[in-house]
């Protein structure tokens, strides 16, 4: 935009843009123009890296069984409609495997003492300070360590596994405790060439292209910083005209943004969504689509 443009020229361009976006009517245009000038501390959503830790990635698997009270907002029908669409974004399937070699597992669902994304394998974990909990120098030590992590190991109970398309092909042990000991035992089994097989229940999660397309068709979904909910300029746009919306807290790290879902069928909500995008709000749907493309390549 040229510095020499007159206010009239700028207003004409904004009006033309609003018309192209289908924002007819005085209130939608006003919402759009006010929204695009908001100054909020928007931050890009983190791109997940290949990690040993399941918890290092976005918890999109929660969308499959999204509780009825997971979304907040003033109107129950708006929350229910958004929830129904969100639950179609991720698909889940479970497969039973009769003889699964535990040496193929290369990830942990248990919460780590600290997320160290520099660790790329169980072998690196075993050699790190996290691996000090298990000192395995014999087969007897191996049995003791893996039985501590999996109390029913010698009874040959099925091992529970997880896999998610946004984590690539990595297989994660679903145990919630003693992950470091499990990793050290598996690293030892690989080193010594020990064949360790058990029945397995593998739960796979994958992003649904059709579910994402439906979400894109029906909603704007933006990542709003925590400061937004105490910002008068933003809250007045959201509340003064009775806009339909729903909020979802999905991410679990400090100062994580909350997702705002705005139905496109409402001219005012659509205007707010378009304006927030121009103001710099991260597009959550585009973020998830990028994960889909990343894992498909």
CA–CA separation, 182 vs 179, rounded Å?
5
Question: Which residues in 128-218 belong to E strands, given as ranges?
Answer: 159-164, 172-173, 197-207
**pLDDT for the residue numbered 40:** 96
**pLDDT for the residue numbered 15:** 55
Query: CB atoms < 10 A from the CB of 206, how many?
Result: 16
pTM of the shown model: 0.86
**pLDDT for the residue numbered 10:** 46
Phi, psi at 46, each rounded to 5° = -70, 135
**pLDDT for the residue numbered 243:** 94
**pLDDT for the residue numbered 1:** 45
- Cβ atoms of residues 272 and 219 within 8 Å: no
Mean pLDDT, consecutive 10-residue stretches, the chain (297 aa), reads: 50 54 75 95 88 89 95 96 97 96 95 70 89 87 95 95 92 94 96 95 96 97 96 93 94 91 96 96 95 68
Over its C-alpha atoms, the chain yields an Rg (Å, rounded) of 24
**Number of residues written out for the chain:** 297
Q: 297: helix, coil or strand?
A: coil
Boundaries of every domain in the chain: 26-35+72-89+208-296, 91-207
- Cβ atoms of residues 103 and 159 within 8 Å: no
One DSSP character per residue, the chain reads: --TT--HHHHHHHHHHHHHHTT--SHHHHHHHHHHTT------PPPPP---SBGGGS--GGGGTT--TTSEE-S-HHHHHHHHHHHTTSEEEEEEEEEEEEGGG--EE-SPPSS--TT--SHHHHHHSGGGGG----SHHHHHHHHHHH-TTTTTTPPEEEEEEGGGTT--EE--SS-HHHHHHHHHHHHHHT---EEEEEEEEEEE-HHHHHHHHHHEEEEEE-GGGGG-HHHHHHHHTTT---EEE----STT--EEEEEETTSHHHHHHHHHHHHHT--BHHHHHHHHHHHHH-
């Amino acid at each position: 935009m040229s510095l020499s443009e007159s206010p009239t020229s700028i207003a004409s361009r904004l009006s033309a843009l609003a018309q192209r976006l289908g924002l007819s009517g005085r209130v939608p245009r006003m919402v759009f123009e006010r929204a695009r000038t908001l100054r909020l501390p928007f931050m890009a959503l983190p791109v997940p890296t290949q990690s040993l830790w399941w918890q290092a990635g976005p918890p999109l698997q929660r969308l499959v069984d999204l509780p009825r009270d997971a979304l907040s907002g003033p109107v129950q029908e708006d929350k229910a409609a958004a929830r129904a669409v969100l639950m179609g974004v991720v698909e889940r399937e479970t497969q039973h495997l009769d003889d699964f070699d535990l040496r193929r597992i290369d990830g942990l669902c248990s919460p780590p003492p600290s997320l160290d994304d520099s660790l790329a394998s169980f072998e690196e974990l075993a050699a790190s300070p996290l691996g000090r909990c298990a000192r395995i120098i014999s087969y007897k030590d191996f049995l003791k360590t893996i039985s501590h992590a999996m109390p029913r190991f010698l009874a040959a109970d099925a091992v529970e596994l997880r896999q998610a398309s946004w984590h690539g092909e990595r297989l994660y042990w679903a145990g919630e405790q003693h992950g470091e000991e499990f990793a050290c035992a598996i690293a030892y089994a690989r080193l010594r060439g020990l064949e360790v097989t058990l029945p397995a229940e593998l739960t796979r999660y994958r992003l649904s292209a059709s579910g994402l397309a439906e979400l894109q068709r029906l909603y704007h979904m933006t990542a709003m910083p925590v400061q937004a909910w105490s910002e008068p300029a933003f809250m007045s746009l959201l509340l003064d005209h009775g806009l339909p919306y729903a909020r979802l807290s999905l991410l679990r790290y400090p100062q994580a943004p909350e997702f705002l879902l705005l139905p496109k069928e409402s001219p005012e909500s659509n205007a707010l969504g378009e304006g927030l995008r121009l103001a710099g709000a991260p597009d959550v749907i585009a973020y998830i689509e990028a994960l889909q493309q990343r894992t498909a390549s």
